[in-house]
Structure 1
Amino acid sequence: MHLPAFLPRPAARTLYAATAVAALAAATLAPLSARAADLSLNVAEGPATEATLYIALYADAASFGASKPLASQSLPLREGKARVVFAGLPPGRYAVRAYADENGNGKLDTNLVGLPTERYGFSNDAKGKLGAPDFEAAAIGVDADLQSAIHLR
């Protein structure tokens, strides 16, 4: 390796070492940021009347069961449809639950026995037995940009 004449040898070695460390750090960290993915969801079969879609993203079974989302959004349904994007997600398994608030009270209404009276749905169009599905039934793997659908019922 030829060192520039204007730098003393120890200073040049330090400069080359620092440059090598910076290049290695950049090469190591670049794939981490490149792994972030967008989850795009097409929600369909909502009510034809005016309604607000509430949609929540969960990263694990504990938060799914406790209704403590990693992220959530609300937006108007247009002709019973909506498109939602959760951007910049690290690789992993996620579950989504959604409902259409038809009367504008900000919650999923139920009847006297606890069955929903407004439309709702889950990722993978998962269905539960006498309640919501478990996280594993609704979980979808996200390791790159992904499009999925939820059909409200």
Structure 2
Amino acid sequence: MDVLTLGQVRIHNGGATQETALQEATDILVSAGAVTPAYVDAMRQREETVSTYMGNGLAIPHGTNETKDAILASALSVVRYDGGVNWAGDPVTFVVGIAGRGDEHLEILSQIAILFSDEDEVERLAAAQTPDELFARLSAVND
């Protein structure tokens, strides 16, 4: 099963608060059948401990280890906020929600990190006009 589908990719012209972004990431993962609605609390707990801001306009919210029971399957949500998100003081454009069964989240995290460590790639992701185009540029995460 693919961790990312077109339905899990969104683009917003405006910005959002960090709280709204966490809720949207969770809602997408819930719709995908990957997590229970309680997962948003796990994401909040993680942010209170350590920010999931990664640099290059990327945040990758995910739950804490204690909340594995909220995860039903591995999946990603990708939301681009063209108006930006203030992520605990850091500027974020891409919010990539991650739910990983067992150790799968580590592999998914590394694929996302590699993708976003390439500034040219980040520019291409930022330039994508539609969710279709953005999804096509991210589909390597399913390999």
Fold in common (TM above 0.5): no
More strand by share: 1
TM value normalised by structure 1: 0.28
TM value normalised by structure 2: 0.29
Larger radius of gyration: 1
